[in-house]
Amino acid sequence: MTGVSFMLPFVTAGGIMIALAFALGGIYAFDDAHKGTLAWALFQIGAKSAFALMVPILAGYISYSIANRPGIAPGMVGGMLAASLGSGFLGGIAAGFIAGYGTDFLNKKIQLGRNLDGLKPVLILPVLGSLLVGLLMIYVIGTPVAGLLAMLTDALKSMQGSSALLLGAILGAMMAFDMGGPVNKAAYAFATGLIASQVYTPMAAVMAAGMTPPLGIALATKLFADRFTADEREAGKAAGVLGISFISEGAIPFAARDPLRVIPSLMVGSAVTGAISMAMGVELKVPHGGVFVLPIPNAVTNLGSYLVALVVGTVLTAVMLRVLKKPLAE
């Protein structure tokens, strides 16, 4: 989770830059024919810089969470190798754990005495840790993980019908389970990692499913006001604004107050939204922004189906809340 948390700002910044590049220069803004234009420059910033840092940052801070500062350099070196070897975010995760536990092991085993211990964090551990993770990634880990990622990518691209619907439902339910917590972040990291492999359908399902909980709650506070306190009805307005912005955390106060009724309602609505989005083959090339990125040309495919998925999930969430929550005593 540390690696994912540090990676997300790079994903968001890169994704918005790419979306702006597409909006200004079309879907081929990255072509040499557009070189020197603002759209081309934005694509370089987003795809070639921010997105290029995603896997090294993920690996580096996974390693940091295990081995502290000495683990950052080996982790990022391993992450960069994972990206260059084609093993993507799966390779980055493996590199982060190898670098972290390897560097931590070396730190405990290498004892140089009080006078030389200062060399460990700045010289010995970064060098030996980078050497360890680098050699393992090149000769042992990189190629099999790259093959695994390629298989996963091909499987996701070929998903149709019931298999796509099931994956969408699982991702959707994960997004609504803890709204910004580890399960939510795992689904989001899975989808954003696949953007780099040109697989865009999970991202569409995940973003729609993440918008559904606060939007469903906002709708329920309007339609079924007798199920909510005055404070909750007021908070529902803010939840709606957060929902259209793809900030799932707007639903947390409601879930915290009545988790046994609210969380299942949110999960059902988000699962249906994710399932419809995946089954319809909706693709989203921008990892954040909510409804504000939908009008950008080429950012989303099958926009009509996407809006249907979002509306159906939102209404179902509200209806579930109506069924499960009891009217409050006056």
Q: What is the mean pLDDT of residues 129-151?
A: 86
239 contacts: CB under 8 Å, gap ≥ 6: 214, 215, 217, 218, 221, 250, 251, 254
pLDDT at 181 over 70: no
Residue 284 has φ and ψ, to the nearest 5°, of -130, 125
152 contacts: CB under 8 Å, gap ≥ 6: 90
Q: What is the mean pLDDT of residues 298-306?
A: 84
> What pLDDT band is residue 156 in, cutting at 50, 70 and 90?
low
pLDDT at 215 over 80: yes
**Rounded alpha-carbon distances, angstroms, from residue 225 to 102, 185, 265, 282:** 56, 31, 16, 34
> What pLDDT band is residue 209 in, cutting at 50, 70 and 90?
very high
Q: Following DSSP, what letter does each residue of 179-244 receive, concatenated?
A: SSSHHHHHHHHHHHHHHTTT--HHHHHHHHHHHHHHHHHHHHHHHTGGGS-HHHHHHHHHHHHHHH
pLDDT at 45 over 70: yes
Alpha-carbon distance 151 to 7, whole Å? 24
> What pLDDT band is residue 57 in, cutting at 50, 70 and 90?
very high
pLDDT at 297 over 80: no
Q: What is the pLDDT of residue 309?
A: 94
Among the ranges 179-193, 205-219, 243-257, which has the highest mean pLDDT value?
A: 205-219
Element (H, E) at 14: helix 2-25
Alpha-carbon distance 93 to 170, whole Å? 21
Distance of CA 208 to the CA centre of its chain: 12
pLDDT at 315 over 80: yes
DSSP class of residue 192? H
Q: What is the mean pLDDT of residues 136-145?
A: 86
Q: Give 26 or 177, the one with higher predicted confidence.
A: 177
Alpha-carbon distance 132 to 2, whole Å? 22
Q: What is the pLDDT of residue 109?
A: 86
Element (H, E) at 138: none
Alpha-carbon distance 79 to 76, whole Å? 5
Q: Which amino acid is at 302?
A: N
| Residue 12 falls in which region: left (phi positive, over 0), alpha (psi -120 to 50) or beta | alpha
Q: Following DSSP, what letter does each residue of 112-156 receive, concatenated?
A: --TTTTTHIIIIIHHHHHHHHHHHHIIIIIHHHHHHHHHHHHHHH
DSSP class of residue 150? H
Alpha-carbon distance 160 to 60, whole Å? 36
Distance of CA 168 to the CA centre of its chain: 14
Contact between 285 and 19 under an 8 Å Cβ cutoff? The reply is yes
Residue 300 has φ and ψ, to the nearest 5°, of -135, 140
CA atoms in the 13 A half-sphere facing the CB of 55? 27
Q: Report the length, in residues, of the chain.
A: 330
Q: Following DSSP, what letter does each residue of 293-308 receive, concatenated?
A: GTTSTTTBSSHHHHHH
Alpha-carbon distance 124 to 190, whole Å? 34
Alpha-carbon distance 66 to 60, whole Å? 10
Alpha-carbon distance 161 to 178, whole Å? 28
